[in-house]
Amino acid sequence: MQEVWNQKFNREDFLYGENPNEFIKENSSFFKPKSRILCLGEGEGRNALYLAKQGFRVEALDASDIGLQKLQKKALEEGLAITIRHTLIENWNPQGFYGGIICSYMHLPKSEQKDMLLKAFLALEKDGFFIAELFSTHQPKYNHFGPKEQELLYDLKDLYGIFSNLPCKIYKLSQEIITLDEGMGHKGEASALRIIIKKERQVLNEVSQSHLEP
């Protein structure tokens, strides 16, 4: 996975542009001012840079060292402090709790998706928000970008099954046809899953572990 994304990000410009994902930007007001925000699968850092400019304490995690180097360079140029975490998502161990966790179009095998979502939920502080925009299983019908393999796409029913069993308030969990204009990488119609959930209480890891069982 690291090698694949390093090849994609090994370019002068930013594959998905320098502007943040619009859904993340529009809903960043859910986060408390100056709260700690984690950006999962952050790539070249467009969301992390935007959130840091808004005064949040930002951490960016990705498997691509090249993507993170581009983010770090841009952050230094703009005088922004962003913590960089270079690791595969399956090896990620949360450091404390976050007021918000975001991701946009993170590609994960279906076998790892549930684990990632639960891990993100557990890493939220009480009243923290998880906000994400992901490619749905219908994306291959709409455009050439995004994964072609169903194994790397997300199913609305699967996500509902996960979140409906957790102590959270679902503000949004929908499948929508949208138009993306994100650099050269995402341009055109897309079938997206949009998620906004709020963690309502802390839960014991022993109890939550049951949600990982098949």
**116-130 confidence digits (pLDDT tens):** 999 999 999 999 999
Residue 147 has pLDDT above 60, yes or no: yes
Look at residue 89 in the predicted model and tell me its pLDDT: 87
Q: What is the architecture of the domain spanning 2-88+100-212?
A: 3-Layer(aba) Sandwich (3.40)
Task: Concatenate the DSSP letters of all residues of 103-130 into one string.
Answer: EES----HHHHHHHHHHHHHHEEEEEEE
Contacts of 213 by beta carbon, 8 Å cutoff, 6+ apart: none
pLDDT of the residue at 204: 58
Cβ-count burial of 70 within 10 angstroms (0-12 exposed, 13-18 middle, 19+ buried)? buried
| Percent over 90 (pLDDT), the chain | 85
Query: What pTM value is reported for the model?
Result: 0.92
For residue 168, is pLDDT > 50? yes
Residue 210, Cα to own-chain centre: how many angstroms? Answer: 23
pLDDT, residue 210, reads 41
Average pLDDT over residues 99-104: 98
- pLDDT surpassing 70 at residue 202: yes
> 214 pLDDT exceeds 60?
no
82 pLDDT above the threshold of 60: yes
Q: Find, among 23, 40, 1, the residue nearest to 123 by Cα.
A: 40
In the prediction, which pLDDT does 213 show?
41
DSSP string, 165-176: TSSEEEEEEEEE
Q: Which amino acid is at 67?
A: G
What is the Cα–Cα distance from 79 to 56, expressed in whole angstroms? 14
Q: Mean pLDDT throughout 93-113? A: 94
